[in-house]
Structure 1
Amino acid sequence: MRTIAVVKRIFQQMLRDKRTLGLMFVAPLFILTLFHFLFTDNTTENPKLGVAHVDAAIVKQLKKKEIDVIEYERAGDVKKTIVDDQLDGFMQMKGDDIRLTFENSDPSKAKALQIKIQQTIAAEAAEKQAAMMKKVLHGIQQQLHAPVKMEQMQPPTVHTSYVYGDKDTSFFDTLSPILVGYFVFFFVFLIAGIALLRERTTGTLDRLMATPIRRSEIVFGYLLGYGTFAVIQTLIVVFFAVKVLDITLEGSLWHVILINLLLALVALSLGILLSAFANSEFQMMQFIPIVIIPQIFFAGILPVEEMASWLQAVAKVMPMYYGGDALKSVMYKGMGLGDIRTDLLALFGFAIIFVTLNVFALKKYRKL
């Protein structure tokens, strides 16, 4: 009977907490639906390959392999052309020398394109060899008693280079910068949200609101207080990832720190904001599948440009979309602040919006 009494109390408690019930049943459906659209609505684009002075027969074969071939009269600065024209690779021919340059921001995509090109080159070389053999056999038939010299055709020499990374670059090398930012974002959000929630449940916030202090002063006080620990956590994560785990770093370490500090500021202000709408730590945890988990899918782990157009629009309201792009650009591609200024401004804009909303959220506790 006592066990039944405990069960009855839990039932009554859960039924009174409509928000917890709603999140418990709605959150899994939300995540499942998101997974469904992310993995079924992707529109795979053909790789784009620039070519210069390449045999027409090879170009024809490349197009048959579902490669969008863009022909150039001259190569110029190949790496700059690849970046400016958003190509996946560039192919040049000079006699028996073939030069391949891959963009390589997605190593798996670059390797798939390289395999298609190598197959095309091998097939074309085999056709030329077969044509030569046919010519030799025809000569033998015409001059049975004359010595026939068989020429061995040399396969073309292929030289491969990359705009970003090298031949040993793995998918994790492009993934690791995003994960660094995501873990900073996740833990700062969680710690800040639960810490402020504890301030409310213990009555500290109510006592603060009973004083003449302004709402904005409370918000900035919490931001500076918790922000100090967020900065320390960010520095520890970044230095550990770069110095201990030896994660790829082509750009400036200070730029990486700046991006992660902005991500931490966004996560801090967002965590404080959402804690105002949670009545318990359990409810705060339930914001994670709705607010935090979707961030990782739009941060660059999955190619956003291959998603459905409406999912691409959703990605652009996710802070990690800009944070992931900035971190990958600096750590993997070696870009500078000028190249990522749009991402930095977007993150700063998110922080301003969340801080402003925090000030208004405190109205539910006191009107000044």
Structure 2
Amino acid sequence: MRTMSITKRVTKELLRDKRTLALMFIAPMFILFLMKLVFSVNSTTSVDIATVNVNSALVTDLDKVTHIDTHQYSLSNANEALKDGKVDAVVHYKNSEYYVTYANTDASKTNATKAALKSSIVAENVGQLKKTLMTLQSKMPQLAGQTTKTNSVKIHNKYLYGDKDTNFFDKIVPILMGFFVFFFVFLISGMALLKERTSGTLYRLLATPVKRSEIVFGYMLSYGFLAILQTLIIVLFTIWALNVEVVGNILYVILVNFVLALVALAFGILMSTFAKSEFQMMQFIPLVVIPQIFFSGIIPMDSMAQGVKVISYILPMKYAGDALTGVVMNGYSISQIIAPILVLLLFLLVLTLLNIVGLKKYRKV
């Protein structure tokens, strides 16, 4: 009987907690819906290849490969397009050999380029063999049965980023670096302010002449120092312990992660104003944190429909992911990442203002 009484009491409490019910039933459906949008739009990624001095027959064979598009360039323009991310590889035919340079920021595109080039060369050799046999048959029928050899073409591979062993983890590690900074700062800052409120410390502080803006900036400065330390540890561990190559300036990586940490800090403080307990703070993770990882760039954005991409523009991780990937894999300069940094600062400004306004409801005097 006592067990049933406890069960009845707990059940009633759960039924009264609408947020917990939403977490259990609505949040999983929301996440599955997002995954449906992200993963089912397009299962393949198109590859753009720049060709230099490549004969038309091979170019035609390359274009026949599904999701492969070729573009003819001069050598200098092709290399520039590769650095700017307009093409994924440059195929240069010189002295009867192929010199291929891969961007290698996406291992799947590199492998697709290698497979397409090899299959096209084989197709071209077969075509040449058929023509040779037909010529021999028309001129010298007695030689038609003899074997005709074709010279194998040598391919020289070069990589702008990494090497032939670069894999999917190398592509997503810059984004994961930023995501873990965002996630832990968001969670810790939100929990900290929530504890201050539930313990009564925040109410006593608001009863003094201290301004709401001073409270918000005080929290952001104190946790900002911890965010700096956390950012340094994560970045340095990723680069040296995991042996991740950084093409650009490591200081830019630290800068982007630090600005993202401040955004996460302001975000966490804002979400804590809507929670009444640590458990309720955890309930925001499926709604706030998980969508960030879906639209951060880990899943190629070019495989998504335009309508789905719109969601990414309202999420700070999208801009941090673009900047971090650009610096780590493409060696972006400060001028090339200033736009996403400014957007992150705009997020920070808006969230900070909302935090200042949000504290107003806790001020009793």
Normalized against structure 2, the TM-score is what? 0.93
Does residue 366 in structure 1 map to residue 363 in structure 2? yes
Q: Could you tell me which residue of structure 1 aligns to residue 8 of structure 2?
A: 8
Does residue 326 in structure 1 map to residue 323 in structure 2? yes
Q: Could you tell me which residue of structure 1 aligns to residue 344 of structure 2?
A: 347
| Shift of residue 254, structure 1, vs aligned partner | 1.7
Does residue 69 in structure 1 map to residue 70 in structure 2? yes
Q: Could you tell me which residue of structure 1 aligns to residue 310 of structure 2?
A: 313
| Shift of residue 143, structure 1, vs aligned partner | 8.3
List alignment gaps of at least 5 residues for structure 1: none
More divergent stretch after superposition (207-216 vs 121-130): 121-130
| Shift of residue 44, structure 1, vs aligned partner | 4.4
| Shift of residue 177, structure 1, vs aligned partner | 1.3
Aligned in 2, Cα 1:201/1:367: closer, same or farther, shift over 3 Å?
A: closer
Q: Could you tell me which residue of structure 1 aligns to residue 230 of structure 2?
A: 233
Amino acid at match of 1:116: A
Amino acid at match of 1:278: A
- In structure 2, the residue corresponding to 1:301 is in which secondary structure? coil
Aligned partners of 1:49 and 1:68 also within 8 Å: yes
Aligned in 2, Cα 1:11/1:71: closer, same or farther, shift over 3 Å?
A: same
List alignment gaps of at least 5 residues for structure 2: none
More divergent stretch after superposition (250-259 vs 290-299): 250-259
Q: Which one of 320, 333, 338 corresponds to residue 336 of structure 1?
A: 333
Does residue 298 in structure 1 map to residue 298 in structure 2? no
- In structure 1, the residue corresponding to 2:156 is in which secondary structure? strand
Amino acid at match of 2:275: A
Distance (whole Å) between structure 2 residues aligned to residue 138 and residue 109 of structure 1: 43
Distance (whole Å) between structure 1 residues aligned to residue 226 and residue 156 of structure 2: 50
- In structure 2, the residue corresponding to 1:48 is in which secondary structure? strand
Aligned in 2, Cα 1:324/1:96: closer, same or farther, shift over 3 Å?
A: same
Distance (whole Å) between structure 1 residues aligned to residue 263 and residue 220 of structure 2: 10
Amino acid at match of 1:230: A
Q: Could you tell me which residue of structure 2 aligns to residue 165 of structure 1?
A: 162
Aligned partners of 1:79 and 1:163 also within 8 Å: no
Aligned in 2, Cα 1:266/1:181: closer, same or farther, shift over 3 Å?
A: same
Normalized against structure 1, the TM-score is what? 0.92
Q: Could you tell me which residue of structure 2 aligns to residue 117 of structure 1?
A: 117
| Shift of residue 349, structure 1, vs aligned partner | 1.2
Amino acid at match of 1:71: Q
Aligned partners of 2:161 and 2:247 also within 8 Å: no
Q: Could you tell me which residue of structure 1 aligns to residue 274 of structure 2?
A: 277
More divergent stretch after superposition (60-69 vs 214-223): 60-69
Amino acid at match of 2:109: K
Distance (whole Å) between structure 2 residues aligned to residue 143 and residue 347 of structure 1: 72
Q: Could you tell me which residue of structure 2 aligns to residue 288 of structure 1?
A: 285
| Shift of residue 184, structure 1, vs aligned partner | 0.9
Amino acid at match of 2:141: Q
Q: Could you tell me which residue of structure 2 aligns to residue 48 of structure 1?
A: 48
Q: Which one of 239, 252, 263 corresponds to residue 266 of structure 1?
A: 263
| Shift of residue 45, structure 1, vs aligned partner | 5.3
| Shift of residue 153, structure 1, vs aligned partner | 2.8
Equivalent pairs counted in the alignment come to: 364
Distance (whole Å) between structure 1 residues aligned to residue 364 and residue 340 of structure 2: 36
Distance (whole Å) between structure 1 residues aligned to residue 39 and residue 116 of structure 2: 24
- In structure 2, the residue corresponding to 1:299 is in which secondary structure? coil
Q: How does 1:141-152 map to 2 (within 5 A)?
A: 141=141, 152=149
Q: Could you tell me which residue of structure 2 aligns to residue 210 of structure 1?
A: 207
Distance (whole Å) between structure 2 residues aligned to residue 322 and residue 109 of structure 1: 23
Aligned partners of 1:276 and 1:361 also within 8 Å: yes
Aligned partners of 1:190 and 1:271 also within 8 Å: yes
Distance (whole Å) between structure 2 residues aligned to residue 367 and residue 159 of structure 1: 73
Q: Could you tell me which residue of structure 1 aligns to residue 59 of structure 2?
A: 59
Question: Aligned residues: percent identity?
Answer: 45
Distance (whole Å) between structure 2 residues aligned to residue 85 and residue 315 of structure 1: 20
Aligned partners of 2:107 and 2:167 also within 8 Å: yes
Aligned in 2, Cα 1:134/1:355: closer, same or farther, shift over 3 Å?
A: same
Amino acid at match of 1:207: R
Q: Could you tell me which residue of structure 2 aligns to residue 153 of structure 1?
A: 150
